[in-house]
Amino acid sequence: MLESKIFSFFVTAVAVLVVLSPIILIHEFGHYIMCRLTGIRVLEFSFGLGKILWSKKRGHTKYCVRAVPFGGFVNPAGEMFVDNKDGKHAPKKHEFASKKWWQKFLMVISGASMNYVLAFVIFTGLALAAGQIAESDLNKIPPVVDTVLAGMSADKSGVKSGDQIIALNGVIMNNWQDVLDSVKKIDADFVLSFRSGSEIINAPVAYADFHASGGILGITAKPVYNRVTIFSAVAAGAYQCWYWTKFSLTSIYKSIAAKKAPDLAGPVGIVSIIHKAVSTSVMDFIWLIGLLSLAVGLFNLFPIPVLDGGYALMFLWEGISGKSPTEKFVKRSLDIGLVLLILLVLYATVGDVKRIVKPAAPPAAEQPAQTGK
């Protein structure tokens, strides 16, 4: 039992690294490449935090890999804001503060922009590799299982991804609509029959366990895909980026308008999501990387001081007004932004813990998967 938990922890830790590493690297690379394009000298480009494990200096830039493989940073030359009213503190031409407002604006939003690029590439690649869902009519989708939710009735019965549901209490299942209709009628112990490879298994299921699982089997339908052209895949990738951005912002707006606290995922929630994704298909796992990359990009664009979006707002104001924000204003804004960010993380973490301790009733998981659309 202990060995199983240790192995599960190890797998989750590796999965977190696999998911978050490209998201962090692409974000920092965005800042790095924009510094190079705008003539801002980069003193250090580092992946990870803490003690330096490896470093190499090329030109003026030191490239590092640090001990803690979370986070990273790009260190541009000079300060972001310089008070040069007396004319004695003019930044050098290779320093950040010497650049025009639009160059600084592009530099701070470039990390989030690259997160969107990564999400777009992943969504497009998945659409090209898997295609798009060809059929949404449950009467025409064969009852083949795609994913199985851990701890639910189907999982306890031994159902695996790729298995086909044959019958429920002897009633033949010809399609997913049959499965849904039959599941709704269950009010006692029943027998779940399914084909796993060449073997047909008849698994008895106690109604008490089924009821405890929320009255569902805990499986999703394996969707039927059609191949798409490169142009259709690109359109699908762009649509996914637009859809999830709109969905996120609309959800937050509706929560605020309804005077309800928005449902946010913090660090604990993200790790929990990745942990659950380990048991899904490779396609779903890669799709999660794209979705989280988009979420990181969107979050960083929020106009909160200390986030990229907060700095972008300051430089945008500089472009409109023709004046740089004062040192006093910047310091106060960053202090307020830091407090807001800490409160936001704490709020999201409390919500994460509540969802883990007392999970919500599971959704109707017998519906077809939607990730391929």
d(CA 116, CA 123): 10
List the alpha helices (DSSP H) in 74-175. Answer: 101-130, 153-156
Where are the chain's structural domains? Answer: 27-41+77-128+268-356, 138-223
Q: Residue 363 has what pLDDT?
A: 44
CATH superfamily of 138-223: PDZ domain (2.30.42.10)
Q: Model confidence at 1, in pLDDT bands (50, 70, 90)? A: low
* β partners of residue 108: none
Cα separation, 71 vs 28, in Å, equals 9
Q: Residue 279: is its pLDDT beyond 80?
A: no
CB-hemisphere CA count at 13 Å for 93? 1
DSSP single-letter state for residue 368: B
Beta-carbon contacts of 368 under 8 Å, excluding residues fewer than 6 positions away, are: 133, 136, 138, 141, 146, 176, 220, 221, 223
pLDDT at 98 over 60: yes
Beta strands in 30-161 (DSSP E): 42-58, 61-76, 132-133, 145-148
Average pLDDT for the chain: 86
Cβ contact 44:64 at 8 Å: yes
Residue 369: pLDDT band (50, 70, 90) is: very low
Please give the Cα distance from 43 to 24 (Å, whole number): 18
Q: For position 362, what pLDDT does the model report?
A: 45
> 115: which residues sit within 8 A by CB, 6+ positions away?
23, 26, 27, 30, 293, 294, 296, 297, 300
**Residue written as token pair 């690259």:** 114
Task: Count Cα atoms within 13 angstroms, Cβ side, for 321.
Answer: 10
Q: Which helix (H) or strand (E) holds 348?
A: helix 327-357
Angle of CA points 139, 142, 145, to nearest 5° = 125
Q: Dihedral of CA 82/86/91/97: which sign? A: positive
Would you state the torsion angle of the CA atoms of residues 198, 202, 208, 211, taken in this order, to the nearest 10 degrees? 50
pLDDT band, residue 51 (cuts 50/70/90): very high
Cβ 312 vs Cβ 320: under 8 Å: no
Cα 40 from Cα 265, distance rounded (Å): 35
How is residue 251 written in tokens?
Answer: 């959800």
Query: Is beta strand 164-168 parallel, antiparallel or unpaired with respect to 171-172?
Result: antiparallel
Query: How confident is the model over 196-217, as pLDDT tens digits?
Result: 988 999 999 999 888 887 888 9
**pTM value?**
0.77
Averaged pLDDT, 319-330:
87
- CA distances, 202 to each of 150, 158, 165, 283 (Å): 19, 10, 10, 30
pLDDT band at 101 (very low <50, low <70, confident <90, very high): very high
